[in-house]
Structure 1
Amino acid sequence: MVADTDGRAPRKRADARRNQLALLDAAATVFVTSGVQAPVRDIAAAAGVGMGTIYRHFPTRADLIVAVYRHQVEACAEAGPALLANTATPYTALANWMDHFVDFLVTKHGLAAALQSDGLDALHTYFLDRLVPVCAQLLDAAAGAGEIRTDVAAYELMRGVGNLCVGVGDDTRYDARHLVELLISGLRRQG
């Protein structure tokens, strides 16, 4: 690590940051396909790094799980404004963001179950603090454009989507993404 001269915590080298991001992305992918108890060697292989690199960044599985959770919250939070800026309509941006949110929720349920600790409340608060304003921004833009109803709050919508995603993985016949699409299309203004 490179030490800062102004007394702040040392910054990681660029290659160390890239390795850490690659690990977080790979871990999230492996967690979705194989669960959070997947072997660390599978995560290392997916990230293209050695086992020592994982343990250098994340000494315990819990450290890795928390880091993946936070990384996914940040990715979802950053996707909202980017979609709003680069999508044809605010409604389309909202619908596309909901796809990101569903992907996050599917992973989140497994991560939360694996943690089972007091830190889970702090992570949930972090999740709400970062994502509710993003969802509100998307809803406000779509409502302001006259594309959706104005009587739904961000927390309420996110809670509904979260409840639809709870059953994912338990029943292969259950398609939460389809139900979320129906929910989002139900927001559209009629006529």
Structure 2
Amino acid sequence: MRPPRSLLYWPVLGIALAPLLMALLGLTHPTDLTTSTVHHWTRLHLWLIPLFPLIGVNLWWLLSDLRGWLPWAARLGAFVYGVYYPAVDLLAGVATGRLLSSGVDRDAPAISTLFQQGNALGDIGNMGLLLSCVLTIAALWPLRGRALLPGAGCLLLGAWLFTENHIYRPWGVLAMLLLAVGFAALMWVRQRPAKQANPEYRVN
């Protein structure tokens, strides 16, 4: 029996919450780390610590109960994102802010090294995110088909803009909004009764 429509809203709202919060935070993200922005820069990245990994958690949520190699490959990509991308937040966000607050010069090699290392690890996370988004859509396609297209388009465009712009306004904020819409749309379609699936690739 199909669940009441009201029960379908909560996962849709829940999966959109993290990117929506990051879009709001992105509106306040300083364009650069300076002595005048350092305190907000540091606080902002401390707030972002629990939020960035939730993008990967959302992908696992969309893949819940899916079996087969393709869903697990998508989960692996989300795991890579969840492990490596937060390094941007911790190294290029929190650590650089703390150093500048302690009196280290903005152009000091230590701060440059933290930015470079954080961004290098973040690039690995970005590749994991993009791969996971593509594979998640591919994993859901046999069960949902063309109904996925609006949400898939938003998800892929949002993920690409995010990898290029972090959450800096305007494009990074737009990236988070697109991710929120994409996740919500895919979750809504995901909850529809499934088509008959291959026994080696099915939803429980």
TM range (shorter): 0.3 to 0.5
User: What TM-score, normalized to structure 2?
Assistant: 0.32
User: What TM-score, normalized to structure 1?
Assistant: 0.33
Question: Relative contact order (alpha carbons < 8 A, sep ≥ 6): 1 or 2 greater?
Answer: 2
